[in-house]
Amino acid sequence: MWYTCYQQVTEGSNVNKLQHNYLEINGIKMHYVTAGQGPLVLFLHGFPEFWYSWRHQLAALADQFTVVAPDQRGYHQTDKPSWGYEIDVLVADVVALIEALGHQQALLVGHDWGGAVAWATAMNYPHRVRRLAILNTPHPVAFAKELRTNRQQQQRSLYMGLFSLPFLPELLLKAGDYALIDLALTSATRPDAFSEDDLDAYKDALSVPGALTAALNWYRAAARGGMQGLTGGKVRRCEVPTCLIWGEDDPYLGVELIEATRPYVTDLMVHRLPGAGHWVQQEAPEEVNRLLGQFFT
Active site residue 177: no
Beta bridge partners of 87: none
Side by side, the strands of the sheet bearing 40-44 are 19-25, 28-35, 66-70, 40-44, 106-111, 129-135, 242-247, 268-273
Separation between Cα atoms, residue 184 and residue 187, nearest integer Å: 6
Catalytic residue among 45, 76, 139, 278: 278
- Residue 35 phi, psi dihedral angles, 5° rounding: -160, 165
Q: What is the CA radius of gyration of the chain?
A: 17
Separation between Cα atoms, residue 163 and residue 222, nearest integer Å: 11
Catalytic residue among 112, 198, 200, 204: 112
| Cβ–Cβ < 8 Å for 279, 193 | yes
What angle (nearest 5°) sits at the alpha carbon of residue 212, between those of residues 147 and 191?
70
Q: Tell me how long the chain is.
A: 297
Active site residue 63: no
| CA distances from residue 87 to 103, 119, 165, 278 in whole angstroms, order as listed | 22, 10, 18, 21
Beta bridge partners of 20: 33
Active site residue 112: yes
- As a whole number of angstroms, the longest Cα–Cα distance in the chain is 48
Separation between Cα atoms, residue 206 and residue 74, nearest integer Å: 10
Catalytic residue among 111, 219, 250, 264: 219
- Of 162, 186, 295, the residue nearest 241 (C-alpha): 295
For the annotated catalytic residues, the residue numbers are 112, 219, 278
